[in-house]
Amino acid sequence: MNDSLDEVVAAVRNNPAAQAKQAIRLVSEVLGDHSWVAGPGDDGAALDADGGTVIACGEALFPPFVRADPYGAGIAAVLANVNDVAAMGGLPLGIVDTVVGDEATARRALEGMRYAADLYRVPIVGGHLTISDGPPAISAFAVGSARAVLSTTRVRAGQDLVVAACLQGVMRADFPFFPSFEERGKDLADDVRLLHTIANAGHAAAAKDISMAGLVGSLAMLLEWGGFGATVDLDAVPAPPGVALSRWCTCFPCYGFLLTCEPATTDDCVRSFTARGLAAARVGAIDATGVIALRSGDRVVDVASAPATGLRRPSSTGAKRARANRTVSTTTVNDMATPRPSSSPRSGSPSNVVPPK
């Protein structure tokens, strides 16, 4: 289902989930720029550990969502973390959770986590449980391992921009989420591990999962650290049949990633996804303008130029280290709580889960 360019531009500019990311500037205001040596915008932190690289990330679930659907929130807690590890080029090793709530709420949340952990073949290795009659809260954290890290600090002008996604599923009518749990099933476990293979093969430089900020909002976070821009060819963006492009570009797909590739490796990157029955295509190139634009046919419209999060760029020393492509610790964007709509899915049905992020 095709929208006009103007309709897509309007949807992107008015996407509240993308606008809400600007609140993350609070992190820099309080912590300054000395707490990390790369970023902003990476989905996890890459830490040197005894000669290897550990990926660490975390996610806090929106409290009204936890209250209304603890089962869905449990699934969301695992999904968000697994995607974040994958976007860093890592393999997910385990999930640690914290659950606060009454016994019934805690039970449903843990059941949701168990479902997702089985689906993605990632064990829940520990956590904390507090039974309380107060407001419920769920957070989860993932640990992964990586050999070749996909980091925003490796984005360069001249690289190709690739969109990869699972197009199997049905868009929710009441919330911008495209689930693929039932349609893709346990294939999702190997789907997320595919980015580790791509990273190790050198077929991508950087990646970011497409989250609640949508395709364009997530792209803005991917490019923010280096002040880069890109023109996205909407006619080339893989999209599910029957889904309006304005909705697709502003939704959170269960499986969706942005990758940057050196032109010589782009075809290999794309083939890695399509060989598994996933959709992938080159949709543009990274440039040094600092502006994100959308193209359809012969028309091009600018949609974003302001910082996506307001997180400070690191000091010159940190930037030099990042440009040398060293393994560095990074601030994560996705573990910051972001206001989200209060509507929520029915409990117990994976296809109706809305994993806010």
Residue 309: count of CB within 10 angstroms of its CB: 24
Q: Residue 4: name the closest of 177, 203, 204, 246 by CA.
A: 246
Q: Distance between CA atoms of 258 and 315, rounded to whole angstroms? A: 26
Query: What pLDDT is recorded for position 29?
Result: 61
Longest dimension (CA), the chain: 59
Residue position matching structure tokens 């915008």: 41
Alpha carbon 285 to chain centroid, angstroms: 20
The CATH 3.90.650.10 portion of the chain extends over 1-31+151-324
For 24, the 3-state DSSP assignment is helix
Q: Distance between CA atoms of 97 and 63, rounded to whole angstroms? A: 15
Alpha carbon of 19 to those of 128, 330, 340: distances in Å? 32, 22, 11
Q: Distance between CA atoms of 60 and 80, rounded to whole angstroms? A: 10
Instruction: Return the CATH number of 43-150, one of 3.30.1330.10, 3.30.70.270, 3.30.450.40, 3.90.1530.30.
Output: 3.30.1330.10
Q: Distance between CA atoms of 286 and 251, rounded to whole angstroms? A: 22
Q: Residue 252: name the closest of 216, 221, 210, 219 by CA.
A: 210
Q: Distance between CA atoms of 324 and 307, rounded to whole angstroms? A: 24
Cβ atoms 40, 309 nearer than 8 A: yes
The CATH 3.30.1330.10 portion of the chain extends over 43-150
Q: What is the pLDDT along the chain (357 residues), one digit of tens a residue?
A: 467 898 888 887 776 554 545 545 556 666 666 444 343 457 788 888 878 899 999 999 888 889 988 998 999 899 999 999 999 999 999 999 999 999 999 999 999 999 999 999 999 999 999 999 999 999 999 999 999 999 988 999 999 999 999 999 998 877 788 999 999 999 999 999 999 999 999 999 999 999 888 999 899 889 988 889 999 999 999 999 999 999 999 998 999 999 999 999 999 999 999 999 999 999 999 999 999 999 999 999 888 755 655 455 654 333 333 333 333 333 344 433 333 333 333 334 444 444 444
Which DSSP string do the residues of 323-341 spell out, in sequence order?
HTT-------STTS-----
Query: What pLDDT is recorded for position 149?
Result: 93
* Superfamily designation of domain 1-31+151-324: PurM-like C-terminal domain (3.90.650.10)
User: Model-level pTM greater than 0.75?
Assistant: yes
Which DSSP string do the residues of 258-273 spell out, in sequence order?
EEEE-GGGHHHHHHHH
Q: Are strands 91-101 and 137-146 parallel, antiparallel or unpaired?
A: antiparallel
Task: Retrieve residue 196's tokens.
Answer: 């580790």
Residue position matching structure tokens 């440039």: 287
Task: Retrieve residue 269's tokens.
Answer: 């990157």
Alpha carbon 217 to chain centroid, angstroms: 10
